């Protein structure tokens, strides 16, 4: 086994009606399920924030959602409260096939730091443990799908490529937020990192 499908954050709060809905975020679920049925290994990631997380705009008086501020670890977009651990919003989309998942990586659970990437917190140094898991299983090729293209997909794909994995992002099975051109910038950054972008 050398290949894994990594399904990024297909959770209720990122789908229509959710607290941080990605446009058409639910439209990728059926296609992802097709891939999970044939993938050698399936890994899911799940945003899992405590209430009052430092990435929430509500934790910063005078700021509103989508403001950008500087944190100790670097720039941070402030988000609406979302994916609070144990909530319905943090649950996987009800139609997502989770039965074949062999691992779930929860991220963003440390109150003082956000985590977009499946591999590192936003300080780019604190590991989630996913790299070690993949190495011990002999997995070197990754396909990424899920939400959102320009944030958690982007950061995960670039980190994976920089760690030496062979990475493909299926853009047809991702959806983006696109804050001030972030989607185009993410695609350029992924290509520059050696990530294969396919439709």
- Indicate the average pLDDT of the chain: 97
**How many CB atoms are closer than 10 A to CB 167?**
25
> How far apart are the C-alpha atoms of 120 and 130, rounded to whole Å?
9
* Residue 16's pLDDT band (cuts 50, 70, 90): very high
Tens digit of pLDDT for each residue in 77-133?
A: 999 999 999 999 999 999 999 999 999 999 999 999 999 999 999 999 999 999 999
Tens digit of pLDDT for each residue in 135-168?
A: 999 999 999 999 999 999 999 999 999 999 999 9
Q: Is 9 a catalytic residue?
A: yes
> How far apart are the C-alpha atoms of 54 and 81, rounded to whole Å?
10
Cα–Cα distances in angstroms (integers) from residue 41 to residues 3, 48, 107, 121, 142, in the given order: 7, 22, 20, 23, 10
Q: Is 107 a catalytic residue?
A: yes
Cα–Cα distances in angstroms (integers) from residue 135 to residues 64, 141, 142, 154, 164, in the given order: 40, 11, 12, 21, 11
Query: Active site residue: 13, 152, 159, 187, which one?
Result: 152
Q: Is 13 a catalytic residue?
A: no
Which pLDDT score, from 0 to 100, does residue 199 have? 86
* 57 touches 68 (CB < 8 A): no
Query: Active site residue: 13, 15, 47, 107, which one?
Result: 107
């Amino acid at each position: 086994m050398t290949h894994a499908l990594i399904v990024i954050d297909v959770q209720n709060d990122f789908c229509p009606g959710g607290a941080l809905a990605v446009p058409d975020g639910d439209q990728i679920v059926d296609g992802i399920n097709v891939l999970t049925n044939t993938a050698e290994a399936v890994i899911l990631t799940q945003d899992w924030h405590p209430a009052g997380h430092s990435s929430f705009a509500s934790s910063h008086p005078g700021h509103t959602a989508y403001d950008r501020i500087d944190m100790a670890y670097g720039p941070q977009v402030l988000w609406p409260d979302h994916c609070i651990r144990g909530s319905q919003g943090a649950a996987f989309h009800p139609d997502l096939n989770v039965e074949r998942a062999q691992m779930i990586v929860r991220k963003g659970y440390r109150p003082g730091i956000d985590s977009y990437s499946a591999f590192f917190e936003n300080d780019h140094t604190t590991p989630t443990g996913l790299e070690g898991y993949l190495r011990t299983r002999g997995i070197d090729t990754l396909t990424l799908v899920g939400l959102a293209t320009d944030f958690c997909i982007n950061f995960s794909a670039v980190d994976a490529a920089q760690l030496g994995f062979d990475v493909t992002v299926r853009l047809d099975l991702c959806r983006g937020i696109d804050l001030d051109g972030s989607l185009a910038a993410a695609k350029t950054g992924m290509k520059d990192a050696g990530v294969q972008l396919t439709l």
